[in-house]
Structure 1
Amino acid sequence: MTTTSTPASDVAQDNARTEAQEVFVSLLVHPLVSARPRPALFRSALRHRTRLSEWSARLGYRLVLAGSVVRLHRDPSGPQRTAAPPPMEPPPRRDLVLLALVAAACEDSVGSTTVQDLSDEVRALSVSPAASITPYDPDRRAERQAFVRALAGLTELGILTRRTSDDVLLKQWEDEGTGVGGGFDIDTDSLLQFTDPHTVGLALNGADGIDADDSARTATRGQRMLRTLVESTALLYADLHPADAEYARTQRSWLAGQATDMTGGSVEMRAEGLLLRLRDDSRAAAEATPAFPAASAGSWFALKMLDAAIKTGPAPDDVGRVNLSSGAVDAIAAHLHAEHHRALTRALSDSPGRIRVVAEDLLVSHGLLRVAGDGGWTLLPTAARYRDPKAVWEPALTDERSVGGAGDDMVDDAAVRP
């Protein structure tokens, strides 16, 4: 009987590649990594920086290591104005404006600052002649709350670090607008990598009429197709320019191999396109993958509406899409509202229209649905993965109608479980 064993060097190389893939997926989720808030990820990125730089360049991105920061800059490529897909739950525009203003205010501070000092600086920046935004008004509580959310965003990125763990000062400033609000240290390395004028310029101003330049489209074709597959995990031929779609079909094996090499996942090759499935045992993949369906009534009723739309709608068209009229969608919502009324939360039980709105928002954000201008639904090929869901409706232990303040995800008369 003969036995074989894998050389230790091969095992070490496989482990190193797997760890690098884990770090790369994490960088796609957290493109700005500071050593203080994420020391383990920062150390791993340093350890695998050569391979990570190679993969970043493959996608047309730039990996920058500066001091205590690792930054993945996603520059636009070809006719694409943005590189990364938009967030599923984007913050309000005002929050983003204040976050950018706070970051700008940090540039004028050295080492440390306070909430009140930053607030004063942001107010001055917002009323400057060059600013074309609504002036920041710290006398309004809603503005102070948005300002505090901006501080939290920069803290998560490692740009700001709280000097004390006591929330009293910050809460007092947020509620009353009095006091200093607490102190923060500023990480200059993180702040300098927060934005890049080159990337911003490409995204906002374009690059030499690139939209009309077929040669630029051709030159960046492989890079753009690979970006879509890696970042969005679904490359649908129907969404592409005809020339790009033809390229993706003929080069699908190469695209699949490249995506697998960088992420450690596997790629399904289907008639409608390519689908990247990340590893089930990967912590980074779990963070990168939307939680759908989640353990909430809204999520499960969105799934029920999706399943009903697949079953009652017409057959898929030649690119795998299912199209329903707005009236057909309303009928599905009305049926679910009547059939499962006792299992609805207070918010969902108001009307069938409320179920439809919640379902649409969730399904669109998860890349399963597009809504036409007339309200009609177009189910994308990715929706077929959610056919025939199994949901168990169990009586709740308490009647939430008798308890004040139930939230949207609190079940009234029944609990929803996958």
Structure 2
Amino acid sequence: MNREAANRQRAFTALLRSPVLGRRTHPEIWPLVRANRVTLGEWFAQRLGYRLVVTDSAARLFRLPVDGAVVAPRRFRPPTRRVLVLAILAAAGAEDAEDITTTQDLSDRVRVLSAHEDVELAHYDPDRFAERTLFVKAVHLLVSVGALRPTARDDEDQREGWAHRRDAIGGAYEVRRELLLRLVDPASLRAALTGGHDAGAPHEAAARIGLMRKLLELPVVLYEDLTDAERFYLTGQRHRVLAWCAEMTGWVVEQRAEGMALIAADEADTDLPFPRLRAADFAALMVLDELVRTYGAGSVVTADELGSAAAAVRERHSQAMTNDLRVGNAVESTALDLLGALDLLRPTGVPDRWRLTAAAARYRDPRVVAVNARLDEEGEG
């Protein structure tokens, strides 16, 4: 593979990972996106039904919904609804702010907006510590999507200081109006309201887009989850689909009797690598192994069976449990949360019943070795 092809892959996978890329925020990737914007735009539009907008200083990938939904799973432990509401209000306030604004200025604007008689939302009260903490998270969310750019490196410390009233103004930010105004894309909004950007598209195009989105966005694609049209398209175009995946990402498609998975070359290319060297991941992996060995992949397990597996892991690996995992049903809830996000333990629609998906067998019989490094709950040990 030549260098140009490798650069296109780097740009493509970077946009999947970070849908907002800028000249300043991603100085290494930005030139690759700009240089390959035509090809990248065609890949996203024709193969995935997404829209890529590239300007002089930033790129934004819009995952256009189909039938009011997108295939990409929600982020693991996403922001709460209140944080999202405050972020939207802060974005509206930032539009009328000066080119350089502060946490305090945005907070004042949101307080006024939330109290407006036409805004039917719970009033934002910055005098409450809980609200200030949530507002800090809302500002961080706007930073992550490029609408605000911190003017100092210690932005996080300043925001935390503001939440605890140790800093009068909090962080200072440049309002990036170009990206601020692209937070809501007209095409995305229209697609969400009308049932999809490709309504009325040819049958084959809809099947192609649906299949490719699932391969690129989901941890694993089970054949049982494909529509009849997607299965038919895959049957006739398997070689084409595999070639596209290799061309765009450089990753390998693992094919099994029950489904397919596009395996990223580096864990940095996925939003939820598993297992990492963390106590939470270790506990979840051990619970998964306990369930697979006892019941088998494809089986339905109950809340009691999940609880028993968690108890067995906690007892067998007591020294590996961090303090937060020793409390109550923490191992059980942690495993359920993480394995559910990975689609290894899938809700059945019946309360307190989950199905071990076929991909769960991939993690059976993990080899456990003792290491001197401490398992860190927040980062790598």
TM-score, normalised with respect to structure 2: 0.88
What does residue 51 of structure 2 align with?
62
2:179 aligned with 1:190: yes
Q: Is the 8 A contact 2:220 2:262 kept in 1?
A: yes
What does residue 298 of structure 1 align with?
280
Q: Is the 8 A contact 2:68 2:195 kept in 1?
A: no
Gaps of 5+ in 2: none
Structure 1: which amino acid aligns with 2:213?
R
Q: Is the 8 A contact 2:159 2:171 kept in 1?
A: yes
What does residue 168 of structure 2 align with?
179
How far apart, CA to CA, are the structure 1 residues paired with 2:301 and 2:160? 49
How far apart, CA to CA, are the structure 1 residues paired with 2:265 and 2:372? 35
Q: Is the 8 A contact 1:98 1:150 kept in 2?
A: yes
Shift of 1:154: 2.0
Q: Is the 8 A contact 2:68 2:193 kept in 1?
A: no
Select the structure of larger CA radius of gyration.
Answer: 1
How far apart, CA to CA, are the structure 1 residues paired with 2:293 and 2:167? 58
Q: CA RMSD in A?
A: 3.0
How far apart, CA to CA, are the structure 2 residues paired with 1:175 and 1:350? 28
Change (3 A) 1:209 1:154: closer
SS in 2 for 1:378: strand
SS in 1 for 2:181: helix
What does residue 65 of structure 2 align with?
76
Deviations 1:198-256 (A, max 9, x none): 3124225535996xx8x776641111110110122422111233443343344333222
What does residue 347 of structure 1 align with?
324
How far apart, CA to CA, are the structure 1 residues paired with 2:59 and 2:26? 11
How far apart, CA to CA, are the structure 1 residues paired with 2:181 and 2:282? 43
Change (3 A) 1:306 1:145: same
Q: Is the 8 A contact 2:211 2:226 kept in 1?
A: no
2:290 aligned with 1:308: yes
How far apart, CA to CA, are the structure 2 residues paired with 1:258 and 1:233? 18
Shift of 1:118: 1.4
1:245 pairs with 222, 227, 231, which one? 231
2:1 aligned with 1:33: no
Shift of 1:364: 0.8
Q: Is the 8 A contact 2:23 2:58 kept in 1?
A: yes
2:252 pairs with 266, 269, 284, which one? 266
1:227 pairs with 207, 213, 227, which one? 213
Shift of 1:382: 1.6
How far apart, CA to CA, are the structure 2 residues paired with 1:66 and 1:396? 45
Shift of 1:357: 1.4
How far apart, CA to CA, are the structure 2 residues paired with 1:183 and 1:339? 49
Shift of 1:322: 2.7
SS in 2 for 1:33: strand
SS in 2 for 1:275: strand
How far apart, CA to CA, are the structure 1 residues paired with 2:322 and 2:213? 39
Q: Is the 8 A contact 1:21 1:264 kept in 2?
A: yes
1:85 pairs with 73, 79, 91, which one? 73
Shift of 1:115: 2.4
What does residue 404 of structure 1 align with?
none
2:357 pairs with 372, 380, 388, which one? 380
2:87 aligned with 1:122: no
Q: Is the 8 A contact 1:25 1:288 kept in 2?
A: no
Shift of 1:55: 0.8
2:232 aligned with 1:255: no
Q: Is the 8 A contact 2:71 2:218 kept in 1?
A: no
Gaps of 5+ in 1: 1-10, 398-406, 411-415
Structure 1: which amino acid aligns with 2:226?
L
Alignment of 1:102-181 (within 5 A): 102-165=90-153, 170-176=159-165, 179-181=168-170
SS in 2 for 1:179: coil
Structure 2: which amino acid aligns with 1:159?
A
Change (3 A) 1:43 1:395: closer
Q: Is the 8 A contact 1:34 1:157 kept in 2?
A: no
What does residue 391 of structure 1 align with?
368
Q: Is the 8 A contact 1:26 1:288 kept in 2?
A: no
2:312 aligned with 1:335: yes
Shift of 1:18: 1.1
2:5 aligned with 1:17: yes
How far apart, CA to CA, are the structure 2 residues paired with 1:171 and 1:308? 41
Deviations 1:98-149 (A, max 9, x none): 1121111111124222322211211222223332322211111111122122
TM-score, normalised with respect to structure 1: 0.81
Structure 2: which amino acid aligns with 1:186?
V
